[in-house]
Amino acid sequence: MSGFYSVLASLLKYIFVTVIYLFIFAIIRMIFLDIKKANSDKRKPQHDTTYLEVITNKNNLYFDVESSYPLTSDVVIIGRGEDCTISINDLYMSNQNTQLWFEDKEWYIADMGSTNGTYINGEKMTDEPLILDSGDRIRIGQVEFVIVIVGE
């Protein structure tokens, strides 16, 4: 091996390793900025429609729930079935547990004959549909929601 090459290779190895580490550092930095941006986007959820906010501590549940569910359609069915508008895999829910619907500028709620019932502000619902006010607590199965009504 020529002397020139030996010197070149021995010098370049330091630069080489440094550049590789700069590369790794640059990628980690960009990923870090990405996460930071994603988190700051997440902190202020935008709601221009009425939504249900989950207030049960999600860590105590064995199934997945979102932190909030926007009510985008006029009829919303909550239950365990996969075809429900809001489908939550909670064993204490019936396939079609509760129905919410929008009529004459009011949100109505009715239990759909579920096994474990629907609780409004801690009281079990009868078969009569009720009109919801913003801030009412709704408990279905093991999950408790607060309804936040936006707009009229």
Partner 1 sequence: MKALKKPIILLLITTVMAFALLFFYRTPMDVNILYIGGSVMLISAITYFAIVYFKLGDEYLFLIVSMLVVLGTLMLCRINYTYGIKQILWYLISVSAFYLSFFIYKYVKMLNKMGTFYFILGVILFIATLLFGTRSGGAKNWIRAGILSVQPSEFIKLLYIFFLASYFSGKRDKLVFGKIKEKYAILFCVYMYLGFLVLQREWGIAVLFFVIYIAMEYIFEHDLMLILCNFLLAGLGGGVGYLTMYHIQVRVATWLNPWADVSKTGYQIAQSLFAISSGGFFGSGLGLGKPEYIPAVHTDFIFSAICEELGLFGGVAIILLFFIFTYRGAKISLKLPEGFDKCIAAGITVMFGIQTFIILGGVIKLIPLTGITLPFISYGGSSLLSSFIALGVLQALSGREVEK
> Which DSSP helix (H) or strand (E) runs through 146?
strand 143-148
Shortest gap between Cβ of 104 and partner 1 (angstroms)?
34
For residue 10, how many C-alpha atoms fall within 13 Å in the half-sphere facing its CB? 7
Show the binding pattern over residues 4-23: x = contacts partner 1 (CB under 8 A), - = does not.
xxx-xxx-xxxxxx-xxxxx
Q: Distance between CA atoms of 85 and 15, rounded to whole angstroms?
A: 58
Q: What is the DSSP letter of 133?
A: P
Q: Check residue 2 for interaction with partner 1 (CB under 8 A).
A: yes
Task: Locate 24 and state its tokens.
Answer: 């790794």
Torsions phi, psi for 61 (to 5 deg): -100, 145
User: Taking CB under 8 A as the criterion, which residues in 23-62 touch partner 1?
Assistant: 23-24, 26-31
Which one, 14 or 83, has the nearer CB to partner 1? 14
Which one, 12 or 91, has the nearer CB to partner 1? 12
Shortest gap between Cβ of 117 and partner 1 (angstroms)?
27
Binding site for partner 1 (CB under 8 A): 1-2, 4-6, 8-10, 12-17, 19-24, 26-31
